Structures are given as structure tokens and as C-alpha cells.
Chains A and B, each alone.
Chain A
């Protein structure tokens, strides 16, 4: 028997998604992480390791590299994305929900920050978050647009993300 952490619905052993609320019941991060480190180690040992971050996925102008788990979220089709986490019975929904990456435990606000593409410039804006947005270690003043570039590391509260900016 599995109990869904989101809605407490009981599911049979072996269920992968909750049939009641659709929440994922199996933790995928762990396995992804293992593969990631193994590959890196092999690269380092063979001397082929490269310092540059992984290339951004095509057709998206920016990707978020979740540094803790190694996952990459490509963002595409629109020129503005709000980052945050979905909370129950909350009408405001961010474009990018960081709940799967322990957003709550890391102090991410529901509407934490936004990334905007303005002509060829990409800016980061803090949306008045409780725990602040940090760009390469410096805390941003709320509601002020700050330009960002490829490889910049940002913190939403304690959640660490790297920005991978597309080449097109």
C-alpha cells in the first residue's frame, strides 16, 4: 500500500501516479542524479571533462539547470516566465512550478521571480519574494530588472539554479 503524499489517497503497491490527484508517487530524482555523477566521474578520469555547462536545449531561449538534481528545464514559446511553486487552493499559478525540486523546503515563494526576454536581452526580476533572489551571490532589490548571462547562478531562497541561455 502506498499513501499519496499530496492527497493521502491510498494506492496499490506499484502505482506510479496517484489516481486521485495525479501526483507522482515515485521519486525519479535519485536515479537521475546517480547516472549524472557516474558519467561526470568517468569524464574526469579519462581527462575529457569540459568546464563549460551543458548546451542549452534547442528552440528554447533559456533553460534552468537545477543544480541539486542535475535536471534541465527548457523554457520555450513565450518571452516571459514566472518562477515559483504551486500551493493548494491558490489562484495564482507560476509558469514554472518548482515544487518537484523541494521548492517549499528551500524557501521558494509562490511567485518568486520572473525571467523576461526583452529584444536580445534577458533580465531577472525578483517579485517581492520572502527569502530573496540572489544573482551570483548578490541579493537583488525587488521589482528591479537585472540583466543576466549564460552560466549565471541564481538562488531562489536556497534553491540553486544555473541559467543556460539558448544560442538562437
Chain B
């Protein structure tokens, strides 16, 4: 018989209570691990998508305001600019209003130069430039709608009063959701409806060298200063971060709710620990009388709560890790393409360890007061109380 035997036997004493307490800790740690992936998941998405040498140039008043299309030629002439394209949101939907996804009109001849990191093969780029109705589609969007290269699809415009038919000429393997098509094709359709198309939502600019990024941004913004549409240039990373920052408030609330759930579980576990210790007052008095010292009893009683919490924490954290891995796998394969952003949140090893550490904190906080109270009580008082 060892101390470990004693710990294990005590945990098996009331199996239902042990199981329920473990389960509550397991769920709390699972929840916290899952919500902790939100900020890092969003940051990872930004990191994955953003290039160090790509700039977003948009109206200084905000991205909802347009820029004159003529700016594109001036921007291309700025020293340090390697390539630039206009970028116009079309807001097209496929079949039903719920099937909305990001689709944009761009300048096909520079797509390869602005997004070299997308590794679009030359033949696909050539097809994209050759056909005025050509479209390049993100891999997840392709799977969501069951499209394949060569398919013809129609998008109904919501931002612009035109419906457009497209032929899919290639898949974007490095961008999951975008749907890119020719600006000329949109212009023609709008002109046919008697509308002007001499503007762009924003411009994407690729800078020739990383150390040129800051000067190029300054040069572009200086170029249009005091014009009717002043520009604001920022790196792609900064652009996505400010876009994602609109979600940060919600993310904070979700994380807070997760930690409040942990606080509730601490109270549940502390209550369970107090009840267990109170029920065993006579046994604890006997152990003291036999000569078990305070620190040994404290370690034994706290050890029970810690063991229980660690068990729940390890299963909860590993469960969250496994589930998010599974979602990522299902999202990346054709098994369940409709998982959307759920499949983009990856739980890192650090979060896994944080989850396990959190469970230990739960165990210590929940167990320390009842355990210390029982351990520090003088043996004479403990014996008198129970015999």
C-alpha cells in the first residue's frame, strides 16, 4: 500500500461525485481551450493570408467609400511599385441569398504579379486573361458549392444591378474563399445598364522590395493628398487586422464567458471537495492521531482534487485539440467542405498546455481551502469533534 493507493481509493469512494466533478472540469477546460483558439486563430488566418510586400490602398474615409479608377495608373507609376490591381466588391450570390461569399472584380493581367504567393499556374493565368468571363475560385468555395474547373456559374449581383455568367478556369489553392473575375466584364455589364464603372473599391499593390514598403505607402498617400478622394495605404497584414478587429470585442466576450464558466466550475469543485472532506472528518482525525503530519495530510487531500482536476483537464484539453484537428482535417478534405471558419481554428500545443495548467489551477484553488482547513486543525480538536 502506498500514498498513491490511498489517493486512488479515496477518489473511487464516491464514483458518481468524482465522475460529475471531473466532467464539469473537463467541459470547462474544453470550452476555454476552444475559445482561446479564437484570437490566435484569427491571427493565424491573417498571417496565412498576408504578404509582407502587399499593400491595401483604400479611401481614407473608409473602405465603404470608392476610389477613382484612374488612381490605378498613377499608383502603378509610383517608384517601388511592382504591380497593382483594382479590387471591386461585387456582392454576388449563388442560387440563394444565403450563398453569399467574397467575389471581386480585378485586373486579370496583373493577378499573377500582385499575388505571386498564390502560386497560380501560368496556364490558368493565361486562361483567366484570355476569357472575359473567366473566374478563379478559392478551394473551399469550390467544394462548398460542388464546383469544378470548367463549370459555368451565374452570380446574382447585390451591390450592382447586374447578373453575371462565369466560366471557372482555375482554383485558388492558397485562398480558400475568394472568387476573382475580370473588371472589364463587370464594366461592360454596368455600361449596358447605363451605369458608370470608373471607380474601384480599393487597390492591391505589390511593392518590389520589403524595405520599400514604408516609402511606397507614403508616396501613394502623398500623391493623392488634398484630392477629393484621399487614400490610406496600409500593409496587407494591417488591413486584415483592422478588418478582424471588428470581431475582437465579440471574441473578448466569448473568452470572458469561457473563464466565467471556469470560475463556476471552481466553486463546484470546491463544494465537492468540502463535502468529501467533511464526510471524512473521522478518518482525517484518525490519520492525525496515527501521526500523519499536517503537510502530509494537506498533500493527500489536495492531491485528490488535483488528480481529479488534472484528469478532467487532460481529457478536456486533448479533446478540444483532437476535435479542432478533426474539423481542420474535414474542412481541408472533401469530407465536410461546409465547415467554414470552424475548420480554420487550430489549437496550438501552447493552448493545450495552458488548458492542462488551467485544470491544475482549478484543482489547487478548489481544494486548497478545504484541505488546509482540515489539515491545520489540531489533532486534539479533530479527535474531540468526532469521538
Indicate whether A and B interact.
Answer: no
Which residues in B have some Cβ–Cβ distance to A below 8 Å? none
Which residues in A have some Cβ–Cβ distance to B below 8 Å? none
